[in-house]
Chains A and B, each alone.
Chain A
Amino acid sequence: MKIDSIKNGIVLDHITAGNSMKIYQNLGLDKVDCSVAIIKNVKSEKMGKKDIIKIDDQFEINLDAIGYVDPDVTVCIIEDGKITKKYKVELPKKLVNIAKCRNPRCITSVEQELDHIFVLTDKENQVYRCRYCESKLKR
């Protein structure tokens, strides 16, 4: 299988195998016009196997949307065929409109215009709670 290298775009590397589709959906990549390649189960020395996403365009991506799914991802910005920036995402302290609160008793269930906000309350166990009702975010 041949995936063309990118001239100007973004590569999401070191995605834990199996997480690429969740990141694809969280970033709304199904709605972009440019080419997007999802490469699954790539052999990796460090990880055994990993997923990679290549996006053939440059735009601002929501790092929190990636970090929430997989805090080990590396983001590479490609310009003129070269990596010009490379950074690790982190587990975000706060999620805004990335996940929805499912608690039917939460105020966000009736007031549609409110942002859905989750706060990281337990970093070790990656627990997020709704800022309004404190319900645990179920992934």
Chain B
Amino acid sequence: MKHLIDPMDLTVEEIDQLIELAGKIIENPDRYREVCKYKKLATLFFEPSTRTRLSFEAAMLDLGGNVLGFSSADSSSAAKGESVADTARVIAGYADIIAMRHPKEGAPFVASQYVDIPVINAGDGGHNHPTQTLTDLLTIKQEKGRLDHLTIGFCGDLKFGRTVHSLIKALSRYEGIQYILISPEELQIPEYLKKEVFEKKGIPYRQVEKMEDVMSELDIIYMTRVQRERFFNEADYIRLKDSYILDPDKLKNAKEDLAILHPLPRVNEISVKVDNDPRACYFKQAKYGKFIRMALIMTMLGVSADED
């Protein structure tokens, strides 16, 4: 694994190895405190993203490495008109690995074509965000103990949500996943995903409008934000908006071991009253994001703890 640009660049074996390593780090983080000593991670964030950037930086610091970089295009040479390729080539002389976020789709791929050090896509516009997908997979593995034979409900904006698309694609390679897609008609998953993933692989899926109708079946519910501006008319928004807010009432019939996931940030789609429910996993999920990034950085730099 030279670079990580698209979550589907990884084989199932590579994903399983990363998840296994992340699991070991969670169990005994002290063993990994110095494995990246004297290594440097450059976080090149051409658009702000506090969570992802801090998660990458915390991951490198917890491995004993150092971090450098910038957190907006204004504070980088991009403001002077430098190309992504040139910026990447210059930084490659200073760092051992790059994590790049860019508003334009394909920018991290461009960077990866010009440097010898590993490039991790930390989000390129609405396109890919592979470390979020890995975070989601690690969360599912940690919470459910497996990545197969699960019933997963995806709820909210399934049309524009890139995290949902990536996770659906990644999970389609595991056996026995049942998909229940909960969204208003306007925000159903794109046709190409239905054709290229579900229909091509013969994977069954259901589309429903209300989460209450299917809640009792779910092992996992993956929530996303439904934004007012995504609706074609106000009447539909008002009619449907409450259907996509998860609150204790809607959890009444849910399984006791349901895992509630959300890529965050949340606005109001999960009531704060759910936060103390043991089934709420979204803050743990954010924490797992650091561990999977630790595993990823280690793997891409080719370092390991002595006993690994």
Chain A positions near chain B (C-beta within 8 angstroms): 103, 105-111, 113-114, 130-135
Are B105 and A111 in contact, CB atoms less than 8 angstroms apart?
A: no
The smallest beta-carbon distance between B207 and chain A, in angstroms, is 23
The smallest beta-carbon distance between A133 and chain B, in angstroms, is 4
Are B105 and A105 in contact, CB atoms less than 8 angstroms apart?
A: yes
| Cα–Cα, bound, A17→B102 (Å) | 44
Name A111's contact: one of B103, B110, B124, B125 (CB within 8 Å).
B110
Q: What are the 8 closest A-B residue pairs judged by CB atoms, nearest first?
A: A132-B106, A133-B105, A107-B104, A107-B106, A107-B107, A133-B106, A105-B125, A105-B105
The smallest beta-carbon distance between A100 and chain B, in angstroms, is 14
The chain B residue with its CB closest to the CB of A101 is B106
The smallest beta-carbon distance between B199 and chain A, in angstroms, is 13
| Cα–Cα, bound, A66→B103 (Å) | 34
Name the A residues within 8 Å of B124 (CB-CB). Answer: 107
| Cα–Cα, bound, A106→B84 (Å) | 13
29 contacts between A and B (CB under 8 A): A105-B103, A105-B104, A105-B105, A105-B125, A105-B126, A106-B104, A106-B106, A107-B84, A107-B102, A107-B105, A107-B106, A107-B109, A107-B110, A108-B106, A110-B104, A111-B83, A114-B85, A114-B110, A130-B106, A131-B109, A132-B106, A132-B107, A132-B110, A133-B105, A133-B106, A133-B125, A133-B127, A134-B105, A134-B127
The chain A residue with its CB closest to the CB of B127 is A133
Name the A residues within 8 Å of B104 (CB-CB). Answer: 105-107, 109-110
When A and B form their complex, what is the total count of cross-chain residue pairs whose Cβ atoms lie within 8 Å? 44
Given A105-B127, A130-B106, A135-B105, 20 further pairs, Cβ under 8 A: A105-B105, A105-B125, A106-B105, A106-B106, A107-B102, A107-B105, A107-B106, A107-B107, A109-B104, A110-B104, A111-B83, A111-B110, A114-B110, A131-B109, A132-B109, A133-B105, A133-B106, A133-B125, A134-B105, A134-B127
| Cα–Cα, bound, A25→B158 (Å) | 40
Name the B residues within 8 Å of A135 (CB-CB). Answer: 105
The smallest beta-carbon distance between A121 and chain B, in angstroms, is 9
Name the B residues within 8 Å of A111 (CB-CB). Answer: 83-85, 110
The smallest beta-carbon distance between A115 and chain B, in angstroms, is 10
Beyond A107-B110, A132-B110, A134-B127, is A113–B105 a contact (Cβ under 8 Å)? no
